[in-house]
Amino acid sequence: MRTNDAQIEMYLDGELQGDALKQFEATLKQDTSLANRLKFHQDLAASLGDSQAIDVQKQITEIGRSFFQESASEKPAPKLVPVWRRPLAIAASFLVLLAVSYFTWQAVSGLAPSGERLFAQNFTSYPLDQVVRGSEATQSDFEQTVQLYLDGHYQQASEAFRTQLSLDPQNEKLKFSLAQSLLSETPPAFDAASPLLESLVSTGTSSVVPASKWYLALVYVHNGDFKQAMPLLQEVKAAGGSRGRMATELLEAL
């Protein structure tokens, strides 16, 4: 078979001449197997393209020439992958490479932190009934709005808190309550809540400031802004308590 392959390539390259050419063509007419091999080589050249076909043909020709030159020697011929298997081997290698790349990507993407996932795992609505006592807002209005919030009517609560805040723009508990209601909506109103929390963290002086740092950090995490979230999480961690433990775990996840 190797002799036939080499002769076929020499025939296709025009290197068979004289009696060798006549003998090959005569054999080609009688030997169906040889004719099929010739057709295979022609199809292979067409499918691989000119440059690849030339490379394959050169390899086969060199193998054939070496065989003719060393046929009298007792040195065993090297084991070679049959030419007809090479396209299959290339295709199989390519598929293996694709599979390895896919599973590697899956593993890496699975390890990468997702801001949305981390937010969902760590966010819980703040119990606003804890800020009712001592509020500077009209007690009845504020309490009614907090009850809307506690009952899960977050959009209605947001509208009411927004109205109350417009009458008392510096009220930190109203800012915090509105931010909490906005974050509890479905979907959360991150863009509206973020400025309220940033204002509390930067200039706030009331008891809601420590909690504001935690929730602002969660907003940053959701948005993928881990760099801004980390200093806030470090402060929450240093303060200790349940939120401090949660901040520690979140920092490790980042």
Find out whether the peptide bond into 187 is cis, omega within 30 degrees of 0.
yes
pLDDT at 62: 59
**pLDDT per residue over 35-80, tens digit each?**
877 777 777 666 555 555 555 555 555 555 554 455 445 555 555 5
The answer to whether the CB of 126 falls within 8 A of the CB of 180 is: yes
pLDDT at 68: 47
**pLDDT per residue over 12-37, tens digit each?**
777 777 877 888 788 878 888 778 77
**Half-sphere exposure for 33 (CA within 13 Å, toward CB):** 3
3-state class (DSSP) for residue 127 = coil
**pLDDT per residue over 189-209, tens digit each?**
999 999 999 999 999 999 999
Instruction: Name the band, by pLDDT with cuts 50, 70 and 90, for residue 254.
Output: confident
pLDDT at 59: 58
Fold exhibited by the domain 116-253:
1.25.40
Segment 100-119 mean pLDDT: 64
DSSP type of residue 84:
G
Cα 71–chain centre separation: 56
Q: Could you write out the DSSP letters of every residue in 201-252?
A: HHH--STTHHHHHHHHHHHHHHTT-HHHHHHHHHHHHHH-HHHHHHHHHHHH
pLDDT at 94: 61
Could you give the CA distance from residue 81 to residue 95 in angstroms, rounded to a whole number? 19
Question: Which tokens is 208 given?
Answer: 């809601």
Angstrom distances, CA of residue 213 to CA of 114, 148, 219: 20, 24, 10
Amino acid sitting at position 41: H
- Mean pLDDT of the chain, nearest integer: 79
Segment 113-142 mean pLDDT: 78
Could you give the CA distance from residue 220 to residue 238 in angstroms, rounded to a whole number? 19
More confident residue, 42 or 94: 42
Sequence-separated (6 or more) residues with CB below 8 Å from residue 155: 185
Could you give the CA distance from residue 177 to residue 235 in angstroms, rounded to a whole number? 21
pLDDT at 10: 77
The answer to whether the CB of 237 falls within 8 A of the CB of 247 is: yes
Instruction: Name the band, by pLDDT with cuts 50, 70 and 90, for residue 2.
Output: very low
